[in-house]
Chain A
């Protein structure tokens, strides 16, 4: 279990369900991890696990990806604590509420600021360290919601797609420094093991009338498209997501860059 031995990873949005489960996988594979999030309450989810591994392996930092100074401080904290940064995973995202014909600017901007610009700020903050060591893995957690037809908020669709596009540009620009940049776009995740903490700034989201195929609450007939093709498997488990993040953060995927890696039960089979 040493696929990430001697690696230090920073999870921005590390208090999320994904971050909490990926933390376990990363620690088991030998990595040191810094979790960055906006509120202590997110870190409650991993208190036991963190106590088990101790401060020599895992630390937390309060900071917002909507603020470049916070991101700069978070990366500095990681380097001061563990000596270097090998992996940056941008997990922070904000859905926003509303469709194209009615979304208010505030929701749209918040989604842009967290989901797309948040990743941007995380990357800009980690760059000096990764450039100096001429290596690094950056993983942007996007979503099927940005890849294909899903009844999500337009802000989510747009800014997850924006983040995926941005990933490609960063991949091209950072390859000369030995830094790989990939996007990971899963479908719906099974987060029921965690109590839901509403996103800061969010307002209730309204599904289009009748719901949307493949999304919870759909009232129509079963359709092929929009649903998983795998028997009894409508959504991903967080362990599966964590498995992908281990691959994408480790040296095993050092040749992979610019790609958006999907995991969606066959809901969208990108050509």
Chain B
């Protein structure tokens, strides 16, 4: 029960990875607040220690900030914050319209930043926190068939992690990311090339794999790890 007495906020959008994280933290004894915008993903979830929070639009900074402030007031001390907000990459690549490009950046990157913002403030006030961000491998390395928008949005998450890691460390807050290859639920695609892992029998990652990696990065054992990106892609890319 590694997270007993901890309050964990998870944002899940576009993937089951966030859902798997929430379930994992619950199994480890935490109180979990799960932000979602896709009702079907959370339809079967129920637990005394789970609070479901419906977000209308992850691009709405004001909504994320006010929601986070409310949650922080209700729970008083937020310990862990995990962002698993993603969108499918477009197959239009460089022919994407600017609107589609902006939508991608604002959902994945701004959505992540403003979800974290009020919770991070609470963590810094309490001098303790763990931030974990789930991003795509496409933000780490050059892959064929990835749109510039998807690459930019995911790469910016790496920048956010390093920056929070650098500046919030004085308040004992760590920030790390998991850079995932394509997952079994079809999310976090990474271009049109061969990006399957090389581990026989486990070539494609699962949302549970992501949950375990996030668990590690946000646990007590990882308190000296910050600004780090953990590559979780079945060994297809080793950076």
Contact = CB atoms under 8 A, between A and B. Distances in A.
Given A101-B120, A146-B159, A164-B155, A169 B148 contact: yes
A169 B159 contact: no
By Cβ-Cβ distance, the 6 closest A-B pairs, closest first, are A165-B155, A161-B159, A162-B156, A169-B151, A157-B163, A168-B142
B102 A117 contact: yes
B142 A116 contact: no
Contacts of A116: 105, 152, 156
A149 B191 CA distance: 28
Contacts, number: 153
Interface stretch (A15-23, A25-33, A74-82, A171-179): A171-179
Interface of B: 61-62, 93-94, 98, 101-102, 105, 109-110, 113-114, 116-117, 120-121, 124, 138-160, 162-168, 170, 191, 227, 239
Contacts of A174: 94
Contacts of B102: 117
A168 B70 CA distance: 39
B71 to A, nearest CB: 15
A153 B159 CA distance: 10
Contacts of A157: 159-160, 162-163, 166
A50 interface: no
B167 A170 contact: no
SS class, residues of chain B in contact with chain A? helix
A212 to B, nearest CB: 7
Contacts of A169: 138, 142-143, 146-148, 150-152
Interface in A102-155: 102-103, 105, 108-109, 112, 116-117, 120-121, 123-124, 127, 146-154
A151 B110 CA distance: 20
Given A117-B101, A166-B155, A212-B166, A158 B160 contact: yes
Contact of A212 (B109, B146, B167): B167
Interface residues of A, number: 49
B167 A162 contact: no
Nearest to B162: A149
B151 A99 contact: no
Contacts of A151: 166-167
A168 B151 contact: yes
Interface string A54-73: 00000000000000100000
A165 B154 contact: yes
Contact of A158 (B61, B113, B121, B170): B113
A120 B146 contact: no
Contact of A68 (B94, B98, B158, B164): B98
Given A168-B142, A258-B142, A117 B148 contact: no
B105 A150 contact: no
